[in-house]
């Protein structure tokens, strides 16, 4: 078998010999059988005497046409619809040549017209059958993965639409996967009907109601575009049936060609928590980005890397991937290079708080659009290190935005968070202050930059989110730790969040904050239980769910708009525009200057007090949280004087009322 497989798989000579033998033999058999059928297996002697010569020259003609149609260059053991069309084209073309010779040239050895017609049909059937036979032989016996393979697992496919039928075909063709589809389950197909020869057993509910799951080894949910609510119902049904189940990749992965339908994976919590797909138009986004230099800061993060993927597809002239962590930057750079984006992608290792480095980047590349996603975002960690949160989230944002204004950038977009609304933690308060800095710059005279921000909730699968944390806890045998039984959060997928960012950028007028209609919030306790069930375990029995109490700065629920902000509709029904009283540029400048002065010497609580002065809705938690970035006790009298001076400077800037609203 190894020798046969090596002969079929390797070498041009082997392919030519095998194909030549197949095509020549098939052509001769087809023409001979056409004669026999035409004359009811009693060919006249006058025709039989010239049959040998006819077989030779017609076969030579067919081989020449096959060569002209490129059939000798095909991979020997692969055969699909395009090959079928070409072989049928060969048969029709050959029949036309032979019929022309019979009718107009008067060739002495030309077969009758009826024989030519029958030969065209039989020849095509024989040649295609031969190619299909070689393909089947390879897939069934010669592929290394199939040798020694055990009995294939019986698979039921939920979803008999385009994706489900494509999956069934793929599994049948790739026997080495060890999966044989034997049944479809579909709400819209009549039980007993067949699709590609595979019976439809009924709707998915029959797996549990009629015990059909016991007749299967595995179930594959092949419905990538199904509504999450329906997917949750199907998962519950399959779990009740007791059969193992998996699903196919997302529609986005299938559409980009990154994976095939037979690349099966376990059902993930993201599949169940995802919301109905929000359709985002791409033409207006493309017009904003195509042919322009685009910068993404924080390019190695969850949001930043997805921004880079989607922006690269819009064909910018240059895409600058700005990231201070080379370990985070390298994977997204390599991914884009593998996607063929090497001509427009440039990885830039730089810290947004480094004025000299960022000034050089802006001066060299002159970006037309900046997406600012760089930020410290982990709530408990930043609660103990407000100096670092202020330095990165506020001063870093102000610096990049200022450079955008100086260099004539057309659009600066800040990626913000719902935690910026009535914040109870340092991270949220610093993001709210960053929003105000951006709005203040919009009021500055003389520039052409539009400054906007986009808010959204928790992103499924991002680093530090609850999903990977719960996954690790379940893998360790539990318990799964939830802070409070009533804590809720808004969730969205990374691609959806980034689509919102891009669509908002295309609608930006300047000075506004965009937010997505995020649907209903999800209880974290329910999320934990669903994840345990998806792991094949029982919450409360196999894995315990324990409540640890709210962490410093954590709220029971998040909000999407501040009471002082006016909510306006946009061109997209799922995107809202928020407008409030803008901050004055002079006030914001005074605040930033005071922060630069006090950050190195202020204690955690002193910084929270300062942050409270400029973000009045912030409700800080004082004391009890210490971090390496804090100066405990304020650093003595000199530090206290600097902090006091900073407060006075903020007051002088009119930050409390007139400036910030």
Q: Are strands 450-455 and 411-415 parallel, antiparallel or unpaired?
A: parallel
Q: Residue 406 — very low, low, confident or very high, per pLDDT cuts 50/70/90?
A: very high
Q: Stretch 274-287: mean pLDDT, rounded?
A: 68
Task: Say how far apart CA 312 and CA 339 lie, in whole Å.
Answer: 9
Distance CA 315, CA 284 (A): 13
Locate tokens 């935690």: which residue?
A: 419
Least confident of 195-199, 317-321, 414-418, 644-648: 644-648
Q: Delineate the domains of the chain, giving CATH numbers in brackets.
A: 2-145 (no CATH), 153-267 (3.40.50.720), 283-458+491-517+558-579 (3.40.50.720), 585-659 (no CATH)
Burial grade of 123 (CB within 10 A; 0-12, 13-18, 19 or more): buried
Write out pLDDT tens, residues 297-345: 999 998 999 999 999 989 899 999 999 999 999 999 999 998 888 888 9
Q: Is 235 helix (H, G, I), strand (E, B) or coil?
A: helix
Q: For the chain, what is the mean pLDDT?
A: 79
CB 426 within 8 A of CB 383: yes
Statement: residue 567 has pLDDT above 60: yes
pLDDT attached to residue 490 = 73
Three-class secondary structure of residue 63 per DSSP: helix
- Within 13 Å and on the Cβ side, how many CA atoms surround 327? 0
pLDDT tens digits along 511-558: 888 887 666 778 888 888 888 877 777 888 888 889 888 877 677 776
* Contact between residue 382 and residue 388 where contact means Cβ atoms under 8 Å apart: yes
Please tell me the distance from the alpha carbon of residue 584 to that of residue 529, in angstroms, as a whole number. 48
What distance in Å separates the CA atoms of residue 63 and residue 56, rounded to the nearest whole number? 11
pLDDT at 451 over 90: yes
Token pair 């002159």 is found at: 366
Q: Summarize the chain as % helix, strand, coil (round to 5).
A: 50, 15, 35
Supply the pTM of this predicted model. 0.66
pLDDT of res. 139:
58
Closest alpha carbon to 394 in 416, 378, 379, 412: 416
Burial class of residue 546, CB neighbours in 10 A (0-12, 13-18, 19+): exposed
**Strand residues in 21-174 grouped as ranges (E):** 153-158
**Alpha carbon distances (Å) from 429 to 132, 180, 490, 613, 618:** 66, 55, 19, 11, 6
């Amino acid at each position: 078998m190894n020798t046969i497989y090596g002969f079929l798989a390797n070498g041009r000579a082997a392919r030519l010999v095998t194909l030549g033998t197949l095509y020549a033999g098939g052509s001769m058999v087809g023409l001979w059988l056409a004669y026999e059928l035409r004359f009811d297996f009693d060919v006249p002697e006058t025709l039989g005497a010239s049959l040998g010569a006819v077989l030779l020259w017609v076969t030579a003609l067919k081989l020449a046409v096959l060569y002209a149609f490129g059939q000798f260059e095909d991979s020997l053991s692969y055969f699909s619809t395009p090959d079928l069309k070409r072989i049928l084209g060969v048969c029709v073309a050959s029949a036309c040549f032979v019929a022309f010779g019979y009718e107009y040239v008067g060739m002495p050895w030309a077969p009758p017209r009826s024989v030519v017609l029958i030969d065209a049909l039989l020849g095509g059937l024989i040649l295609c059958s031969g190619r299909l036979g070689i393909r089947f032989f390879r897939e069934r016996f010669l592929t290394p993965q199939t040798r020694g393979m055990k009995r294939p697992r019986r698979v039921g496919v939920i979803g008999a639409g385009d994706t489900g039928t494509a999956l069934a075909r793929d599994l049948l063709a790739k026997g080495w996967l060890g999966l044989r589809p034997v049944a479809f389950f579909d709400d819209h197909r009549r039980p007993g009907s067949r699709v590609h020869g595979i019976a439809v057993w009924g709707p998915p509910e029959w797996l549990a109601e009629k015990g059909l799951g016991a007749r299967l080894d595995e179930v594959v949910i092949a419905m990538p575009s199904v509504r999450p609510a329906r997917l949750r119902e199907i998962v519950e049904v399959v779990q009740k049936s007791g059969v193992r189940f998996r699903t196919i990749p997302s529609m986005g992965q299938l559409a980009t060609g990154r994976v095939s339908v037979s690349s099966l994976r376990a059902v993930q919590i993201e599949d169940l928590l995802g919301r109905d797909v929000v359709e985002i138009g791409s033409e207006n986004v493309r017009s904003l980005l195509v042919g322009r230099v685009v910068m993404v800061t924080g390019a190695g993060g969850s949001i930043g890397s997805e921004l880079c993927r989607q922006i690269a597809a819009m064909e910018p002239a240059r895409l600058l991937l700005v990231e201070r962590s080379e370990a985070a930057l390298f994977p997204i750079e390599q991914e884009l290079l593998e996607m063929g984006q090497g001509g427009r992608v440039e990885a830039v290792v730089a810290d947004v708080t480094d004025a000299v480095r960022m000034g050089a980047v802006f001066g060299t590349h002159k970006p037309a659009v900046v997406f600012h996603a760089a930020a410290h975002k982990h709530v408990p960690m930043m609660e103990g290190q407000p100096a670092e949160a202020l330095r990165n989230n506020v001063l870093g944002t102000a610096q990049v935005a200022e450079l955008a204004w100086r260099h004539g950038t057309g659009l600066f977009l800040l990626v913000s968070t719902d935690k910026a609304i009535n914040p109870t933690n340092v991270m949220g308060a610093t993001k709210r202050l960053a929003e105000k800095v951006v709005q203040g710059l919009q009021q500055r005279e003389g520039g052409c930059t539009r400054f906007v921000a986009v808010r959204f909730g928790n992103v499924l699968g991002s680093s530090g989110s609850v999903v990977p944390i719960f996954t690790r806890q379940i893998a360790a045998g539990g318990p799964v730790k939830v802070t409070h039984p009533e804590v809720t959060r808004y969730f969205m997928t990374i691609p959806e969040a980034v689509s919102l960012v891009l669509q908002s950028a295309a609608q930006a007028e300047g000075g506004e904050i965009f937010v997505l209609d995020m649907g209903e919030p999800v209880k974290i306790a329910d999320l934990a239980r669903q994840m345990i069930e998806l792991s094949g375990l029982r919450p409360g029995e196999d894995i315990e769910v324990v409540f640890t109490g709210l962490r410093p700065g954590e709220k029971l629920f998040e909000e999407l708009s501040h009471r002082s902000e006016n909510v306006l509709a946009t061109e997209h029904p799922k995107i809202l525009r928020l407008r409030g009283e803008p901050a004055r540029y002079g006030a914001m400048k005074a605040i930033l200057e005071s922060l630069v002065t006090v950050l190195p010497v202020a204690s955690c609580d002193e910084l929270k007090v300062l942050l409270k002065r400029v973000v009045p809705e912030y409700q800080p938690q004082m004391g009890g949280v210490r971090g390496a970035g804090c100066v405990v006790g304020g650093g003595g009298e000199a530090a206290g004087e600097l902090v006091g001076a900073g407060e006075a400077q903020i007051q002088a800037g009119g930050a409390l009322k007139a400036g910030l609203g």
